[in-house]
């Protein structure tokens, strides 16, 4: 299990380095096609502004979009007490507990660091789970906090959005006549080559970014399952909870594609073939359950 955790961490870091290099390459191609050295610095500034804004406000935006509210101990005593107890066991500051009034069982963690973390669960999950199962789910989310997955995945999502924005900018600039031959820059052939490369990147970049985001998110879910089981010392609790979530057919009404990767299970309940699974941000629940029961 320790080898799996270490391997997931290093593979995720390698994917992020590849992602950053890809982002820089797109900016370089855009600058060459437009023959404007200001494009690359401008792209970096936009990315930094998006990252900083998301760093400080993404948790508030997510909670508002999901219509989440603070969980009161008088209304949800088991949930609030479990968050406090598992934070103490993990050696973390107590995350702020939130709830979503929805019958679909699900949960997620968000925030920029353990000192500003939130753990949110649906009322459906709280009502459906027994104490050990609820602790298993909370331990999974606590592991996302402890492993800094909440910050890591937030930054990945920002980079995906920045690449999509840059690709869209490039595409519309070309359609509106922004790319013209500059004979004074060395002739039309070289310009056309950069133009073809740029168009290819504008089409493939968002797809590649989504694939990388999905791959990283899947690895982080496996890591959080293992870390959460270590925290409670009872893998069966989380395995049983995932079984109940798998059997529930209800999608989460306030979920969307932008926030789906945050949850312990895909809240959209989308299923498809091998092509759709490439973009799935969650591993198959049956696979996660099997791994937990092998621990």
pLDDT in tens, 141-164: 999 998 888 877 776 766 676 666
Residue 100: strand, helix, or coil: strand
Kind and range of the H or E run holding 52: helix 39-65
- Give pLDDT, residue 62: 86
- Give pLDDT, residue 57: 82
Written as six digits, the tokens of 228 are 């959460």
Please choose, from the candidates 257, 249, 231, the residue with its C-alpha nearest in 3D space to the C-alpha of residue 285.
Answer: 249
- Give pLDDT, residue 178: 52
Query: Are 119 and 95 a contacting pair, CB within 8 Å?
Result: yes
DSSP string for 118-169: EEEEEHHHHHH--HHHHHHHHHHHHHHHHTTHHHHHHHHHHHHHHHHHHHHH
The answer to whether residue 286 is catalytic is no
pTM score above 0.95 = no
Q: How far apart are CA 110 and CA 116, in angstroms?
A: 9
- Give pLDDT, residue 74: 96
- Give pLDDT, residue 150: 84
Active-site pick, 34, 135, 141, 221: 141
- Give pLDDT, residue 207: 75
- Give pLDDT, residue 108: 95
pLDDT in tens, 21-60: 766 676 677 666 666 666 666 766 766 677 677 778 878 8
pLDDT beneath 50, residues of the chain: 185, 272-275
Written as six digits, the tokens of 148 are 């800094």
Non-local CB neighbours of 146 within 8 Å, separated by 6+ positions: 90, 92, 114, 227
């Amino acid at each position: 299990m320790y080898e799996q955790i270490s391997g997931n961490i290093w593979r995720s870091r390698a994917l992020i380095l590849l992602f950053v290099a890809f982002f820089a390459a797109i900016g370089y191609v855009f600058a060459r096609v437009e023959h404007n050295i200001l494009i690359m610095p401008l792209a970096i500034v936009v990315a930094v502004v998006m990252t900083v804004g998301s760093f400080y406000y993404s948790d508030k935006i997510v909670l508002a979009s999901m219509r989440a509210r603070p969980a009161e101990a008088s209304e949800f005593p088991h949930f609030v007490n479990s968050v406090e107890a598992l934070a103490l066991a993990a050696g973390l500051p107590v995350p702020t507990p939130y709830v979503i009034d929805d019958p679909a069982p699900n949960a997620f963690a968000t925030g920029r660091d353990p000192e500003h973390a939130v753990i949110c669960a649906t009322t459906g999950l709280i009502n459906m789970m027994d104490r050990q199962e609820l602790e298993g789910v909370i331990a999974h989310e606590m592991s996302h906090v402890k492993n800094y997955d909440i910050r890591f995945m937030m930054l990945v999502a920002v980079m995906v959005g920045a690449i999509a924005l840059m690709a869209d900018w490039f595409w519309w600039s070309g359609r509106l006549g922004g790319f013209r031959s500059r004979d004074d820059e060395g002739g039309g052939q070289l310009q056309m080559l950069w133009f073809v490369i740029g168009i290819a990147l504008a089409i493939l970049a968002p797809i590649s970014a989504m694939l990388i985001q999905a791959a990283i998110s899947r690895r982080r879910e496996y890591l959080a399952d293992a870390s959460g089981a270590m925290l409670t010392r009872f893998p069966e609790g989380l395995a049983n909870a995932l079984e109940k979530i798998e059997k529930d057919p209800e999608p989460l009404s306030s979920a969307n594609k932008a926030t789906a990767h945050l949850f312990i299970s895909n809240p959209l309940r989308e299923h498809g073939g091998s092509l759709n699974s490439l973009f799935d941000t969650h591993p198959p629940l049956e696979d996660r359950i099997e791994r937990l029961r092998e621990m």
